[in-house]
Amino acid sequence: MKRVFQHPPEQPTPTGRKYWRSLGELRDTPEFREFLGREFPAGAAEMEGDGLSRRNFMQLMGASLALAGFGLSGCRRPESYLVPFAKSVEWLIPGKPLFYATAMPRRRGAMPLIAECNDGRPTKLEGNPLHPASNGATDPIAQCSLLDLYDPDRARRFLDGGSGKLEESDGAKFAEWLKTLRESLGANGGVDTAILMEQTHSPTLARIRAELAQAFPALQWVIYDPLRPFNEAEAMQAAFGDGVMLKPRFDKADVILALDSDFLNVEEGGLTASRDFSNRRRVAKAGDAMSRLYVVENRFTLTGGMADHRLRCAAGQIAAVAVALARKLGAAGDILGAIPGVDELAGRVSGQEKWIAEAANDLTRARGKGLVVVGPRQPGIVHLLAWAINSTLGNLGNTLVGLTLPERTPESKSISLLAEAINANKVKNLFILGGNPAYNALAHLNWPALQKKVANVVRLGYYEDETTAAGVRWQVPMAHYLESWGDARGEDGTYMAIQPMILPLFGGWSELDLLAGLLGHEKNDKPDLVRDTFKTLAKPAGDFGSETFEGAWNEFLRNGFLADSGYAERAITLGGGAGAYVTKGAPIQLHPAPTPDALEVVLAGDYKVDDGRYLNNGWLQEMPDPVTRLSWDNAALISPAMGKRYGLDVGDIVDLTAENGTRVRAAVWLAPGHADNSVTLSLGYGRKIVGRVGGESGFNAYPLRTAEPNQLDQTYIVSRVKLAKAAGAGRYLFATMQEHQSMEGRNIVRELPKEIYEKNTGFDEHGRSFVAKMGMDEHIPANIGIYQPARLDGMHQWGMAIDLNTCTGCNACVAACQSENNIPIVGKAQVVKGRIMHWMRIDRYYSTLNEQDEDPQALHQPMLCQHCENAPCETVCPVNATVHSEEGLNLQAYNRCIGTRYCSNNCPYKVRRFNFFNYNERSIQPQESGPFKGETSKLYLGPLGPKGMPEIEKLQKNPNVTVRMRGVMEKCTFCIQRIEEAKIGALRTARDSDNKKVPRDSFKTACQQVCPTEAIVFGDLTDPESKVSKVKEQDRDYKVLEYLNVRPRVSYQARLRNPNPAMPGAEHVGKSIIDNPPEVQSGGHNLHQGYFPGAHGENTGSPARGAINK
């Protein structure tokens, strides 16, 4: 555009003569004014004809020249746009996150959460510290559920199958269709309509359901969830009547016997169990009491790892243990009488009578303070037996309390009955809300075929998955719980709000939206339905008094839960027992004893993907299983002795053939501590239609499930299965975080029996404790360095302590760290190569007596950057990229790092992680073509591969943490962003005063915050009163590899075991360091499993000792 110079208006000269250049100026004619504005006199050549001026011409030419290549247009920096909030959002301070309370609906009740939102997008989830069940803690699944929100593969569109094939549609059209359907339902009361949903704990949903039932009385309600604890619920109802729930009180139990119960897995026991249990295990000083844990299980679980005494036992034979125990204690006579073949059953424990007897004695001694818990995989009869035992021992009402369920969920049909109805052509409209029945419904139902028989299948799904592919009329994208309004009861019954943090990213609907839509409500983004429920729950009378409803509602949202709304405790007595249970219609069937020709297969929920719903969650997929340390896969777990008997090694592919001929193919993983003649195959893997993350991972175990959960057999434990090595199937490559399972006699994880600890408390004259001197650290010669140690004169000195006595190894810290610190996932192939990026890992070691010992004990140890004061990584970095802060942090300057990897080599703890590829910017998917098709990931394509992180994934990133590029080293920073924020806060409150210190224990690192057992403590060491200083003063405190004189800032508190001296094998419990001088212990060698199976040591083992497998 031509710029016309605007002359400033001429000031009228008040006095004096006026000079003029021409008559035109004098007269101020328009021609003269134009002349002044023009660059050239009129008539001079100006390319005006087509709007071109000289200036335009120059501009165009200059621009063309630049575009023509001289400007190297291909080499410019990528453009990016920083868009400011043009209008300030209320409450939002730029750069500061907002925290909102919400809750995550889970199978056993919602988990209270606080969501951290940056610029309107949730970036991190924390437990709700106000809620007693959480106290700020969560579990790995809750942590990782955030990633699901930003999953680029989630269902993003409405699909309409009205024309025979699925076509893209939208929410308005669906709402229209739903309206039409509703009108047609009114005519027949919904008799041809079924609603299939998963277990929910939402009072609003229950209310809507009741209203729907009123409107359409013939509507069929079906609840199906493959991991629903149905056996327990059925037995509970039979034994204690309606509306009762049992709650084990681990905080009150001195002696705990867990029968196939993995209560330390939050999915099974909830956060409360972990917290209560660990509080009874925490030993702050000598003399503190510790509870004792006996575990009977078929495979190592987190709970088994914490056990003082563990008995390997095929899962189907737990009943035999329960029977033997009941007999020994003289309990449950009526139930025992009702069990067919009870004598034979009790005889199956031969060889372990002493174990059971001593456990029984211990339980008897702890009358009223003992607890027997049973896992959800066990048939109802075992639950009944356990309750009877607890009743006999006076534990009912003490360690096992009853809770009153205020609202009773109306009876729902089972999926088998639904299948019958479909086969009878009685279902024309089927709403599938959540779940994935085409993948996980009982195999014999042949769900995909069933689904095709229904005219109108409305699928509300988070993914377009197997169920979508099985044929639907409507596929409706489901909203994430962070996108929708809702409510739920927690495990303890607390009423919680589910608040959306963000509008549905892809216009998804929640279950509530859809059911309300069926009821005739308009879909909106408002919490009206929940408000109505809240109104009735908070003040049933409707009188909020001086506190207005709005005030109460706001407080509810702010706190995230309604105070004192938990289930009330009530007295319980064991009622009808077996009789009532049997009259429920379920014959008491018990699993036959497994033999080498007729094995049992245990179908367990997975620690990571649950029932398969999280299969496309990269964080969960890559997180190693806390016990097997496998990532990206499940495996058929068998004991090493069994592997030897069948000639199987890690990665061998086997066929598991059930009695009915169903065959499941899976690869073998040798799992130390597994019961013989028993195979564990976790559910949830081997899905066919998954997103880009979950594809091709693991083996599908669902085809083996051919019965309803309420039938005793074939639910979680499938008996009479034949195992055969699949001929010509080759070997399966597993990705494991940890190749080596033994500590090699090194004093890395220190454990000792409580008795020995009690005898060796305190410190010697050098200030060293018994624990600090264990193993080769007994004598550490003086160490002289030639370098000046780092200056540590900061106002704070940060440090961490990790109590191995309460750490269960649940992986929550690993997940929290990944979420907080923008840690990328690398994909299975890269994990196989040993390039996992986790800043924090949980090492798991097994200790055994000797190579033949089939009963190892497990030890967990969180390992992260130890922030050594004398850090070996710092001296070797040639470019000063890793340096020490005056507050004792080992810093990593990504900008300065050139990636020599020398620091990693010199790190004794191997906690540094290197970006071998641009994991954030490149695709980790396998190559789709070319010579390395399917074998290597697209990372190897380099610049030829796809580039860029999906936009949606970027939303998750923590803005306070750099997203690292390839070629740089990274590692734990002690959450420096949180430290700095706390320091800034302290500076702000200090103003002009000198008190710039961060208030004591006023903030937490991500791993500390999430830990359900408060095993991790972080804080300022200069403050003698801080939590971490207190913990580090304990005589159980030690530093890993202290002899290296690296002076780590992370210290550990030794693990204590609390064996019962009368138990068989008690003399070896907790003595993995004490009994094994360095380089003599060789027990773990047979546990060695590699990335490349067969390359390493073979598995040896004698017939199992201490196991029930006959």
Partner 1 sequence: MADASTATLPADPAALAQFDPVDIAQVTRPPLVTSGRNMAWITNRVCGIVENKTPLWWWIGFFITAPIAAMTFVLLGYLIFTGIGVWGENVPVAWAWDITNFVFWIGIGHAGTLISAILFLTRQRWRTSINRAAEAMTLFAVICAGLYPALHIGRQWMAWMLAPVPNQYAIWPNFKSPLLWDVFAVSTYFTVSVLFWFTGLIPDLATLRDRARGKYSKYVYGVLALGWRGSNRNWRHYEMAYLLLAALSTPLVLSVHTIVSFDFATSVVPGWHTTIFPPYFVAGAIFGGFAMVLTLMLPARYLFGLHDMITAKHVDVMAKIILLTGSIVGYAYIMELFVAWYSGNPYEWSAFLRNRIAMPLFSDHPAPYWWAYYCMMSCNVLSPQIFWFKWARRNVYVVFVICMFVNAGMWFERFVIIVTSIHRDFIPSSWGMFHPTWVDVCTFIGTHGLFLCLFLLFVRFLPMIAIAEVKGVLDSADPHAHDEHGHDRGHSRKFGYAAGPQREEPLPLVGSGVRRAYLKEVTEHNVADHVSDPAKHQAPGDPNKDEDTGKPGGHAKG
CB of 825 to partner 1, least distance (A): 14
CB of 758 to partner 1, least distance (A): 28
Q: How many CA atoms lie within 13 A of 464 on its CB side?
A: 19
DSSP string, 506-527: T--B-HHHHHHHHHTPPP-SS-
The residue among 73 and 875 lying less far from partner 1, judged by its C-beta, is 875
The residue among 135 and 741 lying less far from partner 1, judged by its C-beta, is 741
The one-letter amino acid at 839: W
CB of 455 to partner 1, least distance (A): 52
CB of 648 to partner 1, least distance (A): 19
The residue among 271 and 1050 lying less far from partner 1, judged by its C-beta, is 1050
- Encode 285-311: b = buried (16+ Cβ within 10 Å), e = exposed: eeeeebbbbbbbbbbbbbbbbbbbbbb
DSSP string, 254-301: SEEEEES--TTSHHHHHHHHHHHHHHHH--SSTT----EEEEEESS--
Given a contact cutoff of 8 angstroms between Cβ atoms, the answer to whether 688 and 713 are in contact is no
Q: Is 419 helix (H, G, I), strand (E, B) or coil?
A: helix
The residue among 232 and 777 lying less far from partner 1, judged by its C-beta, is 777
CB of 804 to partner 1, least distance (A): 14
Other CB atoms within 10 Å distance of the CB of residue 206: 17
CB of 31 to partner 1, least distance (A): 58
Given a contact cutoff of 8 angstroms between Cβ atoms, the answer to whether 405 and 699 are in contact is no
The whole-angstrom separation of Cα 714 and Cα 701 is: 12
CB of 1092 to partner 1, least distance (A): 7
474 is written with which tokens? Answer: 């409507």
Quickly tell me which residue has 């199906």 as its tokens. 224
CB of 642 to partner 1, least distance (A): 20
Q: Is 980 helix (H, G, I), strand (E, B) or coil?
A: helix
The one-letter amino acid at 317: Q
103 is written with which tokens? Answer: 């809750």
459 is written with which tokens? Answer: 């699928």
Q: Identify the sign of the CA torsion 361, 362, 367, 372.
A: negative
Q: Residue 1011 burial by CB count (10 A; 0-12/13-18/19+): exposed, middle or buried? A: buried
The residue among 134 and 736 lying less far from partner 1, judged by its C-beta, is 736
Strand (E) positions, 469-592? Answer: 474-477, 486-489, 495-498, 569-570
CB of 629 to partner 1, least distance (A): 8
H or E stretch covering 208: helix 203-215
CB of 749 to partner 1, least distance (A): 9
The residue among 414 and 1045 lying less far from partner 1, judged by its C-beta, is 1045
CB of 52 to partner 1, least distance (A): 44
386 is written with which tokens? Answer: 């356990």
The residue among 388 and 748 lying less far from partner 1, judged by its C-beta, is 748
CB of 868 to partner 1, least distance (A): 10
CB of 872 to partner 1, least distance (A): 5
Longest dimension (CA), the chain: 131
The residue among 38 and 966 lying less far from partner 1, judged by its C-beta, is 966
The residue among 740 and 997 lying less far from partner 1, judged by its C-beta, is 740
Given a contact cutoff of 8 angstroms between Cβ atoms, the answer to whether 806 and 293 are in contact is no
DSSP label at 994? S
The residue among 28 and 778 lying less far from partner 1, judged by its C-beta, is 778
The residue among 486 and 745 lying less far from partner 1, judged by its C-beta, is 745
Secondary structure of 79-131 in HEC code, one letter for each residue: CCCCCCCCCCCCCCCCCCCEEEEEEECCCCCEEEEEEEEECCEEEEEEECCCC
Q: Which residues pair with 1016 in a beta bridge?
A: 802
The residue among 176 and 1079 lying less far from partner 1, judged by its C-beta, is 1079
The whole-angstrom separation of Cα 878 and Cα 898 is: 9
The residue among 249 and 1047 lying less far from partner 1, judged by its C-beta, is 1047
The residue among 619 and 914 lying less far from partner 1, judged by its C-beta, is 914
Q: Which residues contact 559 (CB under 8 A, 6 or more apart)?
A: 101, 128, 130
Closest C-alpha to 451, from 438, 464, 462: 438
DSSP label at 624? P
The residue among 409 and 925 lying less far from partner 1, judged by its C-beta, is 925
Q: Which residues contact 554 (CB under 8 A, 6 or more apart)?
A: none
Q: Is 1107 helix (H, G, I), strand (E, B) or coil?
A: strand
CB of 879 to partner 1, least distance (A): 5
856 is written with which tokens? Answer: 């190892």
Q: Identify the sign of the CA torsion 36, 41, 43, 47.
A: negative
CB of 488 to partner 1, least distance (A): 38
Other CB atoms within 10 Å distance of the CB of residue 16: 6
The residue among 83 and 786 lying less far from partner 1, judged by its C-beta, is 786
CB of 866 to partner 1, least distance (A): 11
